[in-house]
Amino acid sequence: MADVERLGGGPRSAVVVGAGVVGLSTAWFLQERGVSVTVVDRTGVAAGASWGNAGWIAPGLTIPLNEPAVLRYGLRSLLNPAAPLHVPASVDPRLWSFLTRFAANCRWTSWSRAVRANLPLNDECVEAFDALTRGGVAATTIEAPITAGFASPRQAQRLLRELRRLADNGQVVQHTELTGDELRELVPLASPALTTGVRIDGQRYVDPGGFVQALGRAVVARGATIHTLDVVDIHADTHGVTVQRAAGKALRADVAVVATGAWLSDLARKWGVRVPVRAGRGYSFTVPVDKPVPGPIYLPNIRVACTPYRDGLRVAGTLEFRDPDAPGVPARLTAIINSARPFLAGVRWAERRDVWVGPRPVTPDGRPLVGAVRAPNIYVAGGHGMWGLAHGPVTGRLLAEQITTGKQPPALRELDPLR
């Protein structure tokens, strides 16, 4: 719908559907602008992708998924269920429609457009986290470089080429190449199999579940209520919205925000959102370690991200296009361990805990969906792929601005859900 000038100071009430980092950030920034908020989620705060991810606030590594090499790799992975990127054989027509659109966007022009669309989010993502912690979110963000490790200098060249392409599109990333000895000095867990490294400076990390739970508590402390319930439909008119629940009385408000992650398309397609969102599922677990972990570790060739986490190491990896509610596949977990074991020494793999599988919301063109839809007074926010945590707070701030002023911020133009 076209943006209009708000009268009387904008909406006074909102229902936010989704209690992950994007939904709760939107709720928090709406509260900053004087809007009364109710948050609903079918399973509770931080129950989806916001809990089990690697916890990186890494503007220097928000590399869109839709690069040409991913398409070639994905086609090979069809026959390999242990591959880091896996597309299971399926007769799901919506999945194959999505993958066809994704394949069409695996070209450098589309990838570069996604990079440029991310620039405003990257520029402000750290400051948006700081705004939350200054405003009462009782959680810590930790500054640390992310150190990437490789078995050979040749392998490192792929990441270095990606960083150069990012720079060509305006995203300059401060980084330093490392010898094997320099790498092990920074990363005591690095085994002799890692001979080359790249240090990405100016990044941060958090305990993702802990941060989002603290954000939820802050939203409640500022007057919101959070309900655990299923939303089956939302009806809108020029006077407001009616949020229909599976059982019980409907909720009324001036506006609704749908931030349901990998389930976003279930509601959004009826409001003219033609860009689909699919679940790119990831796995994680935590293991004890015998050596210090001073900062995040990245193993790009096997697509594994590791983060200091509660006196251990959170290991996250893989990307599979499967139904978001499907049970975890044990072979995927085993594949992460087998691929990472040669490169990390001092990890007690057999003592893993907190095993998790969760759906990361992926769009075919590498750009999130943030903004107004064709139904009046309804907005969507999602499709951030692997970078929902990093971009959640800044997305919430920008969307709250659009909702309360009626004007689309320039940073959201490339993310328009009606594109």
Instruction: Tell which residue, 388, 180, 193, 194, has the closest CA to residue 280.
Output: 388
| Candidate from 50-54, 239-243, 283-287 with smallest mean pLDDT | 50-54
| Candidate from 40-54, 131-145, 305-319 with smallest mean pLDDT | 40-54
What is the CA 389 to chain-centroid distance, rounded?
5
Q: What are phi and psi for residue 206, nearest 5 degrees?
A: -140, 165
Mean pLDDT of 328-354: 94
Cβ neighbours for 398, distance < 8 A, ≥ 6 positions apart: 370, 409, 411, 412
Edge-to-edge strand list for the sheet holding 13-17: 225-228, 36-41, 13-17, 255-258, 378-382, 369-372
Edge-to-edge strand list for the sheet holding 231-237: 231-237, 240-245, 251-253
* pLDDT at residue 238, as a whole number: 85
- Residue labelled with tokens 């150069």: 164
- Report whether 289 contacts 310 (CB < 8 A): no
- Report whether 59 contacts 126 (CB < 8 A): yes
* pLDDT at residue 83, as a whole number: 67
* pLDDT at residue 79, as a whole number: 57
* pLDDT at residue 320, as a whole number: 87
- Residue labelled with tokens 């200091």: 308
Mean pLDDT of 33-61: 92
Q: What are phi and psi for residue 31, nearest 5 degrees?
A: -60, -40
* pLDDT at residue 91, as a whole number: 66
Fold of the CATH domain 13-415: FAD/NAD(P)-binding domain (3.50.50)
Tens-digit pLDDT profile for residues 162-204: 999 999 999 999 999 999 999 999 999 999 999 999 999 999 9
* pLDDT at residue 352, as a whole number: 95
* pLDDT at residue 47, as a whole number: 82
| Candidate from 80-84, 298-302, 399-403 with smallest mean pLDDT | 80-84
Higher-confidence residue of 89 and 48: namely 48
Cβ neighbours for 203, distance < 8 A, ≥ 6 positions apart: 56, 57, 58, 59, 60, 61, 143, 144, 145, 146, 296
Q: What is d(CA 305, CA 300) in angstroms, rounded to the nearest whole number? A: 8
pTM above 0.95? no
- Residue labelled with tokens 């409640």: 220
Instruction: Give yes or no for residue 380 having a pLDDT over 80.
Output: yes
Tens-digit pLDDT profile for residues 359-370: 999 999 999 999
Determine what percent of the chain is predicted with pLDDT higher than 90: 83
282 DSSP β-pair partners: 358
Q: What confidence tier does 89 reach under pLDDT thresholds 50, 70, 90?
A: low
Instruction: Tell which residue, 185, 228, 200, has the closest CA to residue 45.
Output: 228
Mean pLDDT of 259-266: 96
* pLDDT at residue 95, as a whole number: 87
